[in-house]
Amino acid sequence: MILSKTGEMPTIDPRVLRYSLSVSLTVGLYGIAFGAASIASGFSVLQSCLFSLLTFTGASQFAAVGVVASGGTAFAAISAATLLGTRNALYGMQMAPLLENRGLNKLIAAHITIDESTGVALSQIEQGASSMRQGFWLTGLGVFLFWNLFTLLGALGAKQLGTPASWGLDAGVPAAFLGLLWLRLTSNFLRLVALAAMIFTVVVTPWMPAGLPIISATLVAVVAGWSERSSQS
């Protein structure tokens, strides 16, 4: 697929390959955490694996099983996961003109449009469009391979362990969210938004059905984004 778009056979840049592989493997390892979290939330091994195969966007998967684990409704779980995945649409808008795929290739390209494939593609911007395309495909497919492999291992491992709480797995899920969040807190304004969303969630939790506080925290993002220009220098 890396080769089929324009018909030419570009040689794979070894630097892009190395970079894509290291990203794929590192990110793929998080799949263990997802597999374990999914089992801890009451999903089966098959369901956990299908999540990684079909949903294939890590934060949304964690959100879906996380909301279910906290007693939220199916609607709350699906909404939280979908809202968390909206950034993939933005990535798609950036990648589509670069990839120029059609038909099945476009469908596969869309499925592997995630943080990492887009990130690696954009990091190759100085090397030109061919390197960017290679970065996108190699990273997207690489993450897909390792993410699914490690989800299976994590799910099987967690299944062997039994009660999630007695192994601390119920703390692993929020810790994973905190880790994902941490990477994004690159300015004081963003830290403030995170803190506001946390306080908001604590305050509204006793007053709302389970799962709803998570979705309504997007209000914090809307308010903050709306007024950002005036509050940020």
Partner 1 sequence: MWVVLFCTSALALLTKLGGHYVPASWLSNPRLQRINALIPIALLSALVVAEALTNKTKLVLDHRLAGVAVALVALMAKMPFPVVVLSAVFTSAFIYHWH
**Residues 66-105 interacting with partner 1 (rule: CB under 8 A):** 66-71, 74, 77-78, 80-97, 101
Nearer to partner 1, 16 or 158 (CB): 158
Q: What distance in Å separates the CA atoms of residue 105 and residue 61, rounded to the nearest whole number? A: 24
Instruction: Return the DSSP state at 166.
Output: G
Does the footprint of partner 1 cover residue 173 (CB under 8 A)?
yes
Q: How far is the CB of 160 from partner 1 (least distance, A)?
A: 15
Binds partner 1 (CB under 8 A): choice among 25, 55, 141, 153: 55
Tell me how far the alpha carbon of residue 60 is from its chain's centroid: 6
Which positions from 211 through 230 interact with partner 1, judged by CB under 8 A?
211, 213-214, 217-222, 224-226, 228
- Give the type of residue at 148: N
One-character DSSP codes across 18-43: HHHHHHHHHHHHHHHHHHHHHHHTT-
Tell me how far the alpha carbon of residue 25 is from its chain's centroid: 15
Binds partner 1 (CB under 8 A): choice among 13, 20, 24, 30: 30
Q: What distance in Å separates the CA atoms of residue 154 and residue 48, rounded to the nearest whole number? A: 9
Nearer to partner 1, 13 or 151 (CB): 151
Tell me the per-residue interface mask from 185 to 204 with partner 1, x by CB under 8 A, - otherwise. Answer: x----x--xxx-xx-xxx--
